[in-house]
Amino acid sequence: MITFKDKVYKIASKIPKGKVATYGQLASLAGSPKASRAVGMFMAKNPDRSYVPCHRVVSSKGELTGYSYGKGIITKKEMLKKEGVEFIGDRIDLSKSLWRK
């Protein structure tokens, strides 16, 4: 049986470089639109960053929220910029960088 967490990780693994998804977007795509907080917890406990690019998951406003690798949010922002994600100040420009599945 595939769990909600497994679905979230599988969907998140498909977010391409240069794009981001929101916690709510992943929750909806995995079948539980009100479970964005659970998605955040899954990303925080991601067992394999090479498979699940959790740095590409952001808030619905394009804000960079918690990240436990490296220097936290600083590292997350550096990684996203290196991949070509566009920012307006400290927020991601979702009109240009939001992944459309």
CB contact at 8 A, 20 and 58? yes
Q: Determine contact, residues 61/68, Cβ cutoff 8 Å.
A: no
How far is residue 23's CA from residue 33's CA, in Å, rounded to a whole number?
A: 10
84 is catalytic: no
DSSP SS3 for 77 = helix
Q: Provide the H-helix boundaries in the chain.
A: 4-12, 23-29, 36-44, 73-82, 94-97
Considering the candidates 11, 26, 27, 54, report the single residue annotated as catalytic. Answer: 54
Active site positions, annotated: 54
